[in-house]
Chain A
Amino acid sequence: MRKNDALLSHLDWPLFIAFFSLLIFGMATVYSVAFNEEHPNIFAFSEKYGKQMLWLGVSLFLGLLIFLIDVDIYRKFAVPIYIFTLSLLVIVLFMPPINGARAWIGIGSMGIQPAEFAKISTALLLSKYISGLMIKHQTINTVLTGVGILMAPALLVALQPDAGTLVVFSSFLFVMYREGMTFDPIILKFVNRIPGINLKSTWVGNHFIPLLFIVVVLAVLTLIIGEVEFSFGFLPGIIIKGSTGIIITLAFLALLAYIYIRRFGTKRDRSSLTFIIIFGFIFMTSLSSSVSFVFSKLARHQKDRIEMVLGLKEDPNGKDYNRNRAMAAVGSGGAFGKGYKQASVSSVESNHVPESETDFIFCPFAEEWGFFGSVFLVFIYLFMLMRIVFIAERQRSSFNRIYAYCVAMILFYHFAINVGMNIGFVPVIGIPLPFFSYGGSSIMSFCIMMFLLLKLDSQRKDVLR
């Protein structure tokens, strides 16, 4: 019991407070957005907020259990847990579809989405796998096994279909990157076939994942906002096209990075870093430009298809409708917001923004609390993510560290995609905002994920490896 007595003193309070404040804000927003005058009680289980309260209660209870259970079992049982959730993901494919997706296991309204829990089990197994690797001696097999661990659930999720969660599984790539898993063996295998070339490693191979990420994000962003025209109230008459805006932003960031390395970079690194910045700027600018160029040369039906996928074009599922409404709700919040329970566009009752209590819950929050509120929320998430990275780096056990990074990246993905969706930067792929969105599976899985992290961290000093 000594361990548990130490739990409270070793708990990471900053993270815990951020985590709990998000839960509270989320609950308050669900209550506001789904408010029904006939059942004003927050424990009214006929209403969504009542159910959410129930889920929160269950989550806290699970949290308590996690705090009581010894941490070692997660590492020991990572494989069975992984296989168990994997089998759930298979079973779910034989369930009757709800809203076009076979994502639910359960009876009646009380169902769970195994995909949400699969993230945790994948994180656990990946942590176990990578922590056992000799990172300096990687082969194609080690890379492919790592990728395979995350690909198995990802593919099953894709069959549901659930594009959002599929994308989230790619967040583990970042963890692999941090841990030094590279795609170099694969790249080298191809590059070294060229006669006369025999490389030991490549920069692209080592940094393959973030580079891939940048390319994808930039391409998607260019497609989404490239044709949008921005005008500024304080600069009347000036209209900037989105594609121009991206280039301006890139230039600004390059300048910022340059100033940074002039100021803090060591003399030795300066010239190579400057080269990387210049090269990176040119690369990204030409990438963005060529994406818009290629897109403009596409045939109409091809454009339509891409625009449909990105939610730019009205399609039968009304993704453009959602996105447009969501942006109107966020934008109309103004600097100070409309006030709690005053969201006129995004309340569930008005139903202008569908899914405003789940995937689009950022809308009512931003509409009610305005710029300062929504930026405050962004800051809490950023703080939480930075704190988790900080926690990860202080772990003695690499299992703990990798798991913490997994949590950080999953949360980061959810946050970035969900908020991005609400402000028109990201295609509408339905994934919940962690600790905020209504929904039992998402609340429970994120809480379990977080409690596990807190528990692991609280016992970091007991673990020797």
Chain B
Amino acid sequence: MNLENRKYVIIAFILLVGFIYTSRLFYMQVVDDTWVLRAQEIAEKRKEIIPPRGVMFDRKGRKIVSNKTYYNLMMTEEKITHLDTVAFAKLIGWTPIMVRERFKEIVKGEGVYYNKSSGRHTSNYQKMRAYPFLKELTLDEITKILVHIANFPGFKEEVTSMRTYPYANGANILGYLNEANREDIESKEINADHFYRPGSNIGRSGIERFYEKELRGRKGIRYVVTSAMNNAIESYANGKYDTVAKQAIPLKLGMDIVMQAYGEKLMKGKKGCIVAIEPATGEIITMVSSPSYDPNLLVGRRNISLNYPKLARDKDIPLFPRPLQAEYPPGSIFKLVQSLIGMQEGVVSENAGFACIKSMVGCHNHPNATCIAEAVQYSCNPYFYQLVRKVIQQKVRKNLYADAEYGLNKWHRYMSSFGLGKELEVDITGQNGGLIPNSKYYDKWYGHHQWGFSTIRSISIGQGEIKLTPLQMANIAVIIANKGWYYSPHFVKSIGKKGPKANFRKKHKTLVESKYFAPVIEGMRRVVNESGGTAKSARLEDIIICGKTGTVQNPHGQDHSVFIAFAPRDNPKIAIAVFVENAGAGGAVAAPIASLMIEKYLKGKVTKEKESRLNKAEEPNIIH
């Protein structure tokens, strides 16, 4: 072989390497973009600055939801040298085993992300990155650690902010935050804008959840070039892509935190609710769900993991927002709505009289009611049987059953216009709509044309199938106070200075004309202010309260006590519903509570004597 030809072997090797390297460079730099992402992970840190969450003020301008600074103890594995586990564990008050476990947990769990190209969850744990070893420490706790931190290289502190509630009230309304979980983060709906990352907080219930977008503010994003030691070197592209973090504008609530606290105090030891609404605006002044809990118990991961299971297991279900989700038969307060429908339908006039026929349905001893006002005052059961029968059986159809179907559906439309049997547009997610049966409902139970008024008559007095939430009960008081209309009840009076959300500025009119309200209001006035009324205990000297008691029959135990009211009669400022489970007659417990709330709201203080009387009367009713 000619040796000179061997140069071609050498040339071939050189060209082959050149060809392979060029292809490889083409693949790495042009085709495969995983390296770009990898480089971004390594060097172009997107530093997210999470602004403190928007704060909330109550209707009197008191800050009721605020933020407090907390500290995380961050760990950077690469910088840790010869960690004295025993000493470290002692410093943070753990056992060395716990420390080791936590290490493993971090290495395994932190920095897990979804790798698009492989479709797998990949751990992106990196030794040179800082991960929170301990989260949510108070200044006291971190200070104790920081004194000795120099002995433990690789650990440093980081500042975070968390919720704090200066008033320990309104937990079920305000809601709580929790760390966004993987579902939230991967959800295309919740995380459409990629706001949430592991470790970000998200509103889990109540206002925090409903107004999540309004409260979370705008994340600040700084693109920085970082060094291997994770120090920022310079801002990327001179800050061209950076955005400044901005805290959300505060929410102003219609809630009066003093009233809320007072309501919770009155309901202490009882199960039930108080809902108070300003009739003219629909703003919710107070919404007590009892028993409740201190919202500060559910601040931060540590507290949540400690307290949430306890609260969730509590047999009195403090996490259950009763005013929104508990559905009770309304009892006699329902008679108010029945009267209004009867008059509007023209089946009775305001002066209609019905005898109190106790064979029809049980009643207490009282004179026969000769008009609507008296019927309300005496809360006469037979009266409303007869009234509602006229509504249901209007004798429009020849067939008795077809007639009942026609009447019931008409009645259902009225109820619906009162916001009953459906969810109200309140600004908290997770409420129930109660139940107002229509013909279809009974058809399912009894069969088509198999039922008439006599079958379903217990709906007349708010028993039977009827179910209302306490919020709906309060809304009935609002409608009567307004003589026929309401704004959807809502918590947030104003988002910054923008006012409430648009749907809370829309007036809902009921199907009952305002002229029919006067006799009902007169009846309610008598209930509180006249002898023979069922809620004389609610009477105030100088303010005319109009109210209606209810005693809801409870097959499982003692009757529930319910009272709805508004005051003052002229130009009402507050409408209220009080529902106390297993507390007996409405006049005995619910009415005095409502009266105290009204007095406190309108006058700013209450007669001490009355308050103590209430407490005495209550004692036997304290839940066990």
Using a CB–CB cutoff of 8 Å, the interface residues on chain A facing chain B are 135, 174, 177-180, 206-207, 210, 213, 230-234, 249, 253, 324-325, 327-335, 344-345, 349-352, 366-367, 370-371, 374-375, 378-379, 381-382, 385-386, 389, 392-393, 405, 408-409, 412, 415-416, 419-420, 423, 425
Q: Is the CB of B3 within 8 A of A423?
A: no
B25 touches which one: A206, A351, A378 (CB < 8 A)? Answer: A378
Q: Is the CB of A366 within 8 A of B42?
A: no
A240 to chain B, nearest CB (A): 11
A379 to chain B, nearest CB (A): 8
Q: Is the CB of B117 within 8 A of A351?
A: no
For residue B39, CB closer than 8 A to chain A, the reply is yes
With A210-B13, A330-B28 in contact, do A351 and B18 touch (Cβ < 8 Å)? Answer: no
Q: B residues within 8 A CB of A234?
A: 31
B227 to chain A, nearest CB (A): 4
Q: Is the CB of B3 within 8 A of A350?
A: no
Q: Is the CB of B34 within 8 A of A331?
A: yes
Q: Is the CB of B14 within 8 A of A382?
A: yes
Question: How many angstroms between the C-alpha atoms of A383 and B40 in the bound complex?
Answer: 34
Question: How many angstroms between the C-alpha atoms of A168 and B3 in the bound complex?
Answer: 23
Question: How many angstroms between the C-alpha atoms of A417 and B611 in the bound complex?
Answer: 90
- The interface centre, meaning the residue of B3, B15, B42 with most chain A CB atoms within 10 A of its CB, is B42
With A351-B228, A385-B14 in contact, do A374 and B25 touch (Cβ < 8 Å)? Answer: yes
Q: Is the CB of A330 within 8 A of B25?
A: yes
For residue B194, CB closer than 8 A to chain A, the reply is no
Q: Is the CB of B7 within 8 A of A393?
A: yes
A330 touches which one: B4, B35, B43, B44 (CB < 8 A)? Answer: B35
For residue B86, CB closer than 8 A to chain A, the reply is no
Q: Is the CB of B7 within 8 A of A332?
A: no
Q: B residues within 8 A CB of A206?
A: 1
Q: List 30 A-B residue pairs with CB atoms under 8 Å apart, sorted by A's residue number.
A: A177-B9, A178-B3, A210-B9, A233-B31, A249-B20, A327-B28, A327-B35, A328-B35, A328-B39, A330-B35, A331-B34, A331-B36, A332-B39, A333-B29, A345-B42, A350-B43, A350-B226, A352-B227, A366-B25, A366-B29, A371-B26, A393-B4, A408-B10, A412-B13, A412-B14, A420-B17, A420-B21, A423-B21, A423-B28, A425-B24
- The interface centre, meaning the residue of B18, B22, B26, B27 with most chain A CB atoms within 10 A of its CB, is B18
Q: B residues within 8 A CB of A423?
A: 21, 24-25, 28
Question: How many angstroms between the C-alpha atoms of A334 and B40 in the bound complex?
Answer: 13
Chain B residue with the shortest CB-CB distance to A181: B3
Question: How many angstroms between the C-alpha atoms of A303 and B337 in the bound complex?
Answer: 83
Those of B149-201 within 8 Å (CB) of chain A: none
Question: How many angstroms between the C-alpha atoms of A234 and B35 in the bound complex?
Answer: 16
Chain B residue with the shortest CB-CB distance to A330: B28
B561 to chain A, nearest CB (A): 66
Q: Is the interface of B mostly helix, strand, loop or mixed?
A: helix
Q: B residues within 8 A CB of A232?
A: 31-32
A281 to chain B, nearest CB (A): 14
B228 touches which one: A352, A367, A419, A420 (CB < 8 A)? Answer: A352
A277 to chain B, nearest CB (A): 13
Q: Is the CB of A350 within 8 A of B29?
A: no
Question: How many angstroms between the C-alpha atoms of A425 and B1 in the bound complex?
Answer: 33
- The interface centre, meaning the residue of B10, B30, B44, B227 with most chain A CB atoms within 10 A of its CB, is B10
Q: B residues within 8 A CB of A392?
A: 7
Using a CB–CB cutoff of 8 Å, the interface residues on chain B facing chain A are 1, 3-4, 6-7, 9-11, 13-18, 20-22, 24-36, 38-40, 42-44, 117, 225-229, 233, 236
Q: A residues within 8 A CB of B39?
A: 328-329, 331-332, 344-345, 367
Question: How many angstroms between the C-alpha atoms of A178 and B6 in the bound complex?
Answer: 6
Question: How many angstroms between the C-alpha atoms of A179 and B5 in the bound complex?
Answer: 11
With A178-B3, A210-B13, A325-B42 in contact, do A334 and B228 touch (Cβ < 8 Å)? Answer: no
Q: A residues within 8 A CB of B4?
A: 393
Q: B residues within 8 A CB of A325?
A: 42
Chain B residue with the shortest CB-CB distance to A213: B13
B132 to chain A, nearest CB (A): 23
Q: A residues within 8 A CB of B38?
A: 324, 327-328, 331-332
Question: How many angstroms between the C-alpha atoms of A405 and B9 in the bound complex?
Answer: 13
Q: B residues within 8 A CB of A179?
A: 3
Q: Is the CB of B3 within 8 A of A180?
A: yes
Chain B residue with the shortest CB-CB distance to A412: B14
Q: Is the CB of B29 within 8 A of A330?
A: yes
Q: A residues within 8 A CB of B15?
A: 382
Question: How many angstroms between the C-alpha atoms of A232 and B30 in the bound complex?
Answer: 10
Q: B residues within 8 A CB of A177?
A: 6, 9-10
Q: Is the CB of B7 within 8 A of A178?
A: yes
B462 to chain A, nearest CB (A): 63
Q: B residues within 8 A CB of A371?
A: 25-26, 29-30
Q: Is the CB of A231 within 8 A of B117?
A: yes
A350 touches which one: B9, B30, B34, B228 (CB < 8 A)? Answer: B228
With A231-B117, A331-B32 in contact, do A378 and B22 touch (Cβ < 8 Å)? Answer: yes
With A210-B13, A386-B11, A408-B10 in contact, do A344 and B43 touch (Cβ < 8 Å)? Answer: yes
Q: B residues within 8 A CB of A408?
A: 10
Question: How many angstroms between the C-alpha atoms of A379 and B22 in the bound complex?
Answer: 9
Chain A residue with the shortest CB-CB distance to B38: A328
Q: B residues within 8 A CB of A328?
A: 35, 38-39, 42
Q: A residues within 8 A CB of B44?
A: 344
Q: Is the CB of B29 within 8 A of A370?
A: yes
- The interface centre, meaning the residue of A179, A324, A352 with most chain B CB atoms within 10 A of its CB, is A352
Q: Is the CB of A349 within 8 A of B227?
A: yes
With A352-B42, A393-B7 in contact, do A331 and B13 touch (Cβ < 8 Å)? Answer: no
Q: B residues within 8 A CB of A332?
A: 35-36, 38-40
Question: How many angstroms between the C-alpha atoms of A349 and B226 in the bound complex?
Answer: 9
Q: Is the CB of A178 within 8 A of B30?
A: no
With A213-B13, A386-B14 in contact, do A344 and B225 touch (Cβ < 8 Å)? Answer: yes
A434 to chain B, nearest CB (A): 14
Question: How many angstroms between the C-alpha atoms of A408 and B31 in the bound complex?
Answer: 32
Q: A residues within 8 A CB of B34?
A: 331
- The interface centre, meaning the residue of B13, B14, B29, B227 with most chain A CB atoms within 10 A of its CB, is B29
B18 touches which one: A207, A374, A382 (CB < 8 A)? Answer: A382
Q: B residues within 8 A CB of A381?
A: 18
A406 to chain B, nearest CB (A): 12
Question: How many angstroms between the C-alpha atoms of A420 and B7 in the bound complex?
Answer: 23
12 further A-B contacts with Cβ under 8 Å, apart from A350-B227, A385-B14, are A177-B6, A178-B3, A180-B3, A335-B30, A345-B43, A371-B26, A379-B18, A386-B14, A389-B7, A393-B7, A423-B24, A425-B24
Q: B residues within 8 A CB of A330?
A: 25, 28-29, 35
A416 to chain B, nearest CB (A): 5
B328 to chain A, nearest CB (A): 57
A27 to chain B, nearest CB (A): 22
Q: A residues within 8 A CB of B17?
A: 412, 415-416, 420
Chain A residue with the shortest CB-CB distance to B26: A371
Q: A residues within 8 A CB of B22?
A: 375, 378
Q: B residues within 8 A CB of A174?
A: 10, 13
Question: How many angstroms between the C-alpha atoms of A161 and B604 in the bound complex?
Answer: 88
B520 to chain A, nearest CB (A): 69
Q: Is the CB of B43 within 8 A of A378?
A: no
Chain B residue with the shortest CB-CB distance to A229: B118
Question: How many angstroms between the C-alpha atoms of A67 and B331 in the bound complex?
Answer: 113
Q: B residues within 8 A CB of A352?
A: 42-43, 227-228
Question: How many angstroms between the C-alpha atoms of A412 and B233 in the bound complex?
Answer: 37
With A178-B6, A213-B13, A386-B11 in contact, do A233 and B25 touch (Cβ < 8 Å)? Answer: no
Q: A residues within 8 A CB of B20?
A: 249, 425
A206 to chain B, nearest CB (A): 7
A93 to chain B, nearest CB (A): 32
Q: Is the CB of A349 within 8 A of B233?
A: yes
Question: How many angstroms between the C-alpha atoms of A325 and B20 in the bound complex?
Answer: 21
Q: B residues within 8 A CB of A327?
A: 28, 35, 38
Q: B residues within 8 A CB of A419?
A: 21
Q: A residues within 8 A CB of B16?
A: 253
Question: How many angstroms between the C-alpha atoms of A206 and B3 in the bound complex?
Answer: 11
